[in-house]
Structure 1
């Protein structure tokens, strides 16, 4: 590891905790919960395609940073939308298939942990988790829309974020008179627009104890954007690193909520977070990752955290220049559904 101090001064009152970094974090595939128990080898088909990708990216890191390059692997479990599944069944199938296919998984993470990070006391989760998704939602900074009428609610009200000006189809003028239709337009488009409108969350109220209660369901792209920032070591809560990987011993619980946000499976693994991250995913996730990159470009990153990562990179044996934009540190490989069984 490099010699950057474990703490730096974020402000007069908050000490910013340092975070050890690998050179590269590799996300080793992804599955829907419905893929497990399918009895059609789809999990092994994907994992077999992941193996040569991990080898290639590891070799590339070693060529750039030397034979001692720090590379870790991780896997994100989709338990947020399917918390009704049994971890003992899902994890047994996943880890058995990974071992048979030769895929090393150093860290196992829960998607629900990107919404709420459980805090453990004496091995048990407390009733007060870190509301990570809410914390990051407050950091969303949409681009100002030109010629806006104010009719459409703001991103914080609506839960929608776009990369441009929306069409005129539902503008106030359209309801009053026939006017020329204006298509959506991407901000800074080159010749043609690729317009994207992403839902970050949806909120509703329902009756609960003591009256009406507001509920929030975070979208997959929004939670994934948080996941990528965790992998890049860019999130702190009052100066402390969020979702530090926890060692796990013994059997898996039968409830996802009883597990840490990130579990360290390999005791000899390099650090979970890294200067760079690559995600090896099924091609069906391309649209999700497109949305993730839009969200990342509109999340305000803590300047002190970025400066800390920048300083850490400068004193590496092979100095690393860390770009400010998180999307410039993140890459993807999309694998097809075609493979050997």
Structure 2
């Protein structure tokens, strides 16, 4: 005899949907060292980005098959690793330099919001959703990523034996599913500083991508939702600024079916690590299903792999620019 089990439909958290654009176009993801270089550095960045932004818009229009695509723009400011200047001083300069280049920033985000936002901890939530892909031959002796803070795309070099035992032959690390030759990556997701967990740049950028793709949830509720800024000016403390601001009330939705990120080429290693994290993150199934169904109805179907929904343009910076490098 089969026993029937009754469950209330509302027993589990319901995944709430979010408005979606066709494309989330990121016009910059710079660090405080870049801002410290002065308005000229921002001017160079936006002047270069303008051409690539036009190309990204054209590509989005091609995918919508003649329909006008919904495209929103965003800009991310690093206030997590360092604090430079104040929102009141810095944000107007960013917006003014973008406008001079013919660009409009619809949404402005603080990188610290990827770590903590409105009483939630997006980075911690994403960490719990990482499902490591064990390479062939794994014996389960290595601690999980939640303890090591490291995530790889294959088999690491085996540990050497003690001095009293026979030294084994050296073995190289090996990418899982490598095509012809191995490209192995081992990404640090967090470190400990004075008893505090410090999230890495690649991991916070992965959280940021998930938010832009509309896939970030906490108990079914969207995380990093935009808030309007209605004040006459911006505050003098970064903590008094919402994690994600909507600067244009008429803008297309913040989250989108796909993302395109425009960055200096020095960010290439960071964003390669971001894709590794996305490939091993088990995102909210309800959000995945909603986006798949909606994109199909619109004739704008998305790839099943999350990382494949992200695209990048890496541009070469002027040779006279002092390269601060990612934090």
Asked if these proteins are the same fold (TM beyond 0.5), I'd say yes
Cα gap change, 1:221/1:175 in structure 2, threshold over 3 Å: closer, same or farther? farther
Does 2:231 match 1:232? Answer: no
Supply the distance in 2 between the matched residues of 1:30 and 1:201 (Cα, whole angstroms): 20
Give the SS at the match of 1:188.
coil
Match of 2:191 in 1: 202
For the pair 1:97 / 2:97, whether they are aligned, the reply is: yes
Partner residue of 1:332?
312
How is 1:163-202 mapped onto 2 (pairs within 5 angstroms)? Answer: 163-168=153-158, 170-172=159-161, 176-202=165-191
1:46–1:339 Cα contact (<8 Å) kept? no
Q: State the shift of 1:153 in Å.
A: 3.1
User: Where do residues 304-315 of structure 1 align in structure 2 (5 Å cutoff)?
Assistant: 304-315=286-297
Would you say the 8 A contact 2:264–2:317 is kept in 1?
yes
Distance 2:81 2:213 in 1: 24
Q: How does 1:264-303 map to 2 (within 5 A)?
A: 264-303=246-285
Contact 1:278 1:333 in 2 (8 A): yes
C-alpha distance in 1 between matches for 2:73 and 2:247: 10
1:123-138 equivalences under 5 Å are: 129-138=119-128
How far 1:96 sits from its partner (Å)? 1.5
Paired with 1:88 and 1:58, the residues of 2 have a C-alpha distance of 31
- Structure 1 residue 84, shift from structure 2 partner: 5.2
Contact 2:32 2:84 in 1 (8 A): no
SS at match of 1:41: helix
Contact 1:31-1:43 at 8 Å conserved across structures:
no
- Residues 242 and 101 of structure 1, relative CA distance in 2, 3 Å threshold: same
Question: Which ranges of structure 2 fall in alignment gaps of 5 or more residues?
Answer: 1-7, 322-327
Provide closer, same or farther for how the CA distance between residues 13 and 157 of structure 1 changes in structure 2, counting only shifts above 3 A: closer
**CA deviation map 1:265-312 (0-9, x unaligned):** 111100000001100101000000000000000111111110011111
Question: After the TM superposition, which of the residue ranges 331-340 and 102-111 deviates more from structure 2?
Answer: 331-340
Counterparts of 2:252 and 2:181, CA distance in 1: 43
| TM-score where L is the length of structure 2 | 0.89
- For residue 22 of structure 1, what is the aligned residue in structure 2? 21
TM-score normalized by the length of structure 1: 0.86
Match of 2:149 in 1: 159
Mean CA deviation greater in 55-64 or 136-145? 55-64
Equivalence for 2:68: 68
Aligned residue number for residue 87 of structure 2: 87
- Give the drift of 1:17: 1.1
- Structure 1 stretches lacking a partner, 5+ long: 1-8, 119-128, 207-213
Distance 1:150 1:133 in 2: 25
- Work out the CA distance in 2 between the residues paired with 1:301 and 1:103: 32
- Aligned CA distance change for structure 1 residues 174 and 165 (closer, same or farther; 3 Å): farther
Change (3 A) 1:198 1:148: same
CA distance 1:174–1:323, change in 2 (3 Å): farther
Q: How many residues are aligned here?
A: 312
Separation (CA, whole Å) in 1 of partners of 2:75 and 2:9: 31
Classify the secondary structure of the residue corresponding to 2:109.
strand
Q: CA RMSD in A?
A: 2.2
Structure 2 distance, partners of 1:85, 1:24, is: 31
Aligned equivalents of 2:113, 2:136: Cα separation in 1: 37
Query: Measured at CA, do residues 271 and 180 of structure 1 come closer, stay the same or move farther in structure 2, by a change above 3 Å?
Result: same
Aligned to 1:45: 44
